[in-house]
């Protein structure tokens, strides 16, 4: 069965942005909130999901994640507001 992958962005304590990929963003967010996500989010707990965007496969999501991680925080915020990401408050 083919599953879509998601690029997601979290706002963390202190205003930092964490970017990752997952099949189920809501479950991954719960893992981050419970300290079972990435090492970064253990030290900088997430406050909310900022955005998510679906990709057809893991490879394209990982490519987008890499590109996003090369951006400055300002560019990431511009991306969120300019390119049609789904904006989500939790």
Per residue in 2-52, pLDDT tens?
789 999 999 999 888 999 999 999 999 999 999 888 888 999 999 999 888
Q: How confident is the model at residue 62 (pLDDT cuts 50, 70, 90)?
A: very high
Q: How confident is the model at residue 1 (pLDDT cuts 50, 70, 90)?
A: low
The pLDDT of residue 7 is 94
Residue 81 has pLDDT above 90, yes or no: no
Cα dihedral sign, 58-64-67-68: negative
DSSP class of residue 16 equals: -
- What is the CATH topology of the domain spanning 5-87? GIY-YIG endonuclease (3.40.1440)
Domain locations along the chain: 5-87
The pLDDT of residue 79 is 84
């Amino acid at each position: 069965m083919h599953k879509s992958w998601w690029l997601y962005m979290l706002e963390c304590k202190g205003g930092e942005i964490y970017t990752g990929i997952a099949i189920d963003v809501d479950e991954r967010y719960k893992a981050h909130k419970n300290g079972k996500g990435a090492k970064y989010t253990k030290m900088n707990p997430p406050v909310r999901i900022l955005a998510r965007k679906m990709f057809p496969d893991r490879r394209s999501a990982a490519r987008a994640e890499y590109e996003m991680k090369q951006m400055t925080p300002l560019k990431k915020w511009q991306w969120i507001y300019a390119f049609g990401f789904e904006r989500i408050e939790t």
